[in-house]
Structure 1
Amino acid sequence: MQKKSLSVNQNGIISPQYCAPYAVDLAIVRKVMTLVDSFTVTNVNGKTVFNVKGSLMSLHDHRVLLDATGKPVVTIRRKMMSVHDRWQAFKGESTELKDLIFTVKRSSIFQLKTKLDVFLANNTKEDVCDFKVKGSWFERSCVVYAGESLTIVAQMHKKHTVQSIAFGKDNFMVTVYPNFDHAFIVSLILILDEINQDAREAAQN
């Protein structure tokens, strides 16, 4: 299973154009003092790589990752009535099963720290996950592993700046390892954020 996953990685899970033969550092800026939380993803030179679209009404069950030109790359949708907080990612703006790229679910229902299992669309049995996400969104720290192995494909960590505090922005960095799809990693981070939003709202109620 892991060999199969790693061969897919070389070609790009979402698209080969989002793979590089070297490690890619991305900065993610999340505006947290607006009616609609917004994400902008830039490279180390400050050039926009991705944006996220989501209206106030649909924010918690539907988000679209856009490239720098505004073209839809991935649509992320929460699967309703699922026990493990199940999320699905589709090509472009589609939500049809034929365009499914991957599915994400919690490893277990009750967790102190987030653990997510990721299954590619062709892994229909879901006996073994293709990727695993471990970490804490509140600490802005997480690691993405290939399958059940200790092979790391991406890491996220908090970036503290004076500007981020003053302007109500939440900045963090993501390092995507060589030959790995950074659009896929950004999609996983969006799902992590959604799960965090749900947890925060539950704590307030």
Structure 2
Amino acid sequence: MFLFFKSLSRSVHEEQQEPEFKNNIELDGHCTSLTVWRKSLIASCNGFTVIDTNGNLAYRVDNYMGHPEEVVLMDGSGKSLLTLRRRKKLTTVDSWLVYEGDVDEECGRDKLSKRPIYSVKKQMSILQAKRNVLAHVYREASNKRYAYAVEGSYAHRSCKVVDESRRVVAEIKRKEATIVGISFGVEVFVLTVQPGFDPGFAMALVLLLDQMFS
């Protein structure tokens, strides 16, 4: 199944002819384009499989069922990169903390960075909802000024991450294609990341959107 998906991934990227970003960050380098498959490589788990343009496994998530309190993003070899933890507060707002590192399951000891590198909060404001704002990203948990906003519709796989200057740094696009009789739906989509923005963190935002809006 994974080898079959790699061939589909190559076909998806081969069909992309020009970048879809128009007024974005202009930096040296190229955009990172990833094919995201909303399916774990482990049959008994929910998760994600992420393939790069060469058909290689870039990221994977296969460590949860349902709506967990913690989600771990791993690289292709299974090394934990980021740990996402739901904030345990008496509030109706879905909020998460993003840490570097993981948890040593054998010893039960926390190997995470002591402080979260980002916090992400689901947008509940009616005024912000009119702009299709899904979530705000803060550099520190206590920071009241957001660094990035996520806008669009995750259900339709049409989202963009913008910075404070309204520049698009990452984008989720639904990929419509029919290859050897198979149509891509919302379970397979493309994540495009601009130079200067961490693709791993962009994928972490995808995981949080999936938890908040699936």
Q: What interval of TM-score do these two structures reach, taking the shorter chain for normalisation?
A: 0.7 to 0.9
What does residue 192 of structure 1 align with?
209
What does residue 154 of structure 1 align with?
170
Task: Quote the RMSD (CA, aligned, Å).
Answer: 2.8
SS in 2 for 1:99: coil
In 2, the alpha carbon distance for the partners of 1:100 and 1:165 equals 41
What does residue 182 of structure 1 align with?
199
1:30 and 2:38 aligned: yes
SS in 1 for 2:202: helix
The structure-2 alpha-carbon separation of the partners of 1:22 and 1:167, relative to structure 1 and needing over 3 Å to count, comes to closer
Structure 1: runs of 5+ lacking an equivalent: 1-19, 198-205
1:101 and 2:117 aligned: yes
> Once the 2 structures are TM-superposed, how far is the Cα of residue 161 of structure 1 from its aligned partner?
4.0
Q: How many residues align?
A: 173
Identity %: 29
TM-score calculated relative to the size of structure 1? 0.73
Aligned-partner residue type, residue 182 of structure 1: P
TM-score calculated relative to the size of structure 2? 0.70
The structure richer in helix per residue is 1
Please, which of 83, 87, 92 is the counterpart of residue 79 of structure 1? 87
Aligned-partner residue type, residue 118 of structure 1: V
1:134 and 2:151 aligned: yes
Please, which of 42, 60, 63 is the counterpart of residue 51 of structure 1? 60
Which structure is larger by alpha-carbon Rg, 1 or 2?
2
What does residue 143 of structure 1 align with?
160
Is contact 1:143–1:155 with CA below 8 Å preserved after alignment? yes
